[in-house]
Amino acid sequence: MGSYNFGFDLAEGEIAEDLVRELLSGKRGSIEIKRDTIVSESGNIAVEWECRGKPSGIRVTTAMWWAFVLTGEKYQDEIVIMVLTERLKAMCDWHIKKGKSVDGGDDKESKMVLLDLGRLLLWNPYVGRMPKTDPKTTSPVTDRKTAPEKLVENPRGIHNGMPDPEQRPSAASQGPAR
């Protein structure tokens, strides 16, 4: 068993508290909020990227973050998942390039990507592809190519899941928080 360091754990907890406080207050940028009612049945979050032949949703958002409120029989608005928009865009772009897009919405006039909840949490934007899974268990397969020891340089300025503070727009330029 490793050594326990209360001071370190306390500092880590305070960093997380500050992050959530800043997210909810709008200091970390605006948040686009989506409510997904089908996720309870499908296990997938739908992200729209085109509607009636024009870019929409993730392709046009100006929000720094996306929040998905999960509803339906399993979740009943008790789970909210927040994702940095650049991370979500990268994941959606990967799916679109692979031809993994579906038609949906009113009259099936929208194009969307369906993101599996489990894989959403496992995807590594620094490598740019989905993790491999064992088809029998759908558990991730450890692979050095998809689990690098260090983050690779990222042109979008995302480091450790957060935008580089030097490149992040100020809260004032994001407009009022929702």
Could you read off the pLDDT of 74-119 as tens digits, one per residue? Answer: 999 999 999 999 999 999 998 999 888 999 988 899 999 999 988 8
Q: Is residue 16 included in any domain, yes or no?
A: yes
Its domain, for residue 62, covers 6-174
Q: Is residue 150 included in any domain, yes or no?
A: yes
The residue assigned the tokens 């772009």 is 93
Q: Is residue 78 included in any domain, yes or no?
A: yes
Res. 62 pLDDT band, cuts 50 70 90:
very high
Q: Is residue 14 included in any domain, yes or no?
A: yes
Q: Is residue 71 included in any domain, yes or no?
A: yes
The CA distance from 145 to 54, in Å, is: 35
- The beta strand positions in 21-159, using DSSP E, are 31-36, 44-51, 54-55, 65-70, 79-84, 102-104, 110-116, 158-159
Q: Is residue 1 included in any domain, yes or no?
A: no
Q: State the DSSP code for 98.
A: T
Q: Is residue 76 included in any domain, yes or no?
A: yes
Number of domains in the chain: 1
The CA distance from 35 to 78, in Å, is: 12
Calculate the average pLDDT of the chain: 77
Q: Is the CB of residue 25 less than 8 Å from the CB of residue 177?
A: yes
Could you read off the pLDDT of 10-50 as tens digits, one per residue? Answer: 999 999 999 999 988 989 899 999 998 889 899 999 999 99
Q: Which residue has the higher pLDDT, 173 or 121?
A: 121
Share of the chain above pLDDT 90, in %: 47
Q: Is residue 88 included in any domain, yes or no?
A: yes
Confidence check: pLDDT of 151 > 70: no
What are the Cα distances from residue 48, in Å, to 63, 81, 102, 115, 128?
15, 17, 9, 11, 20
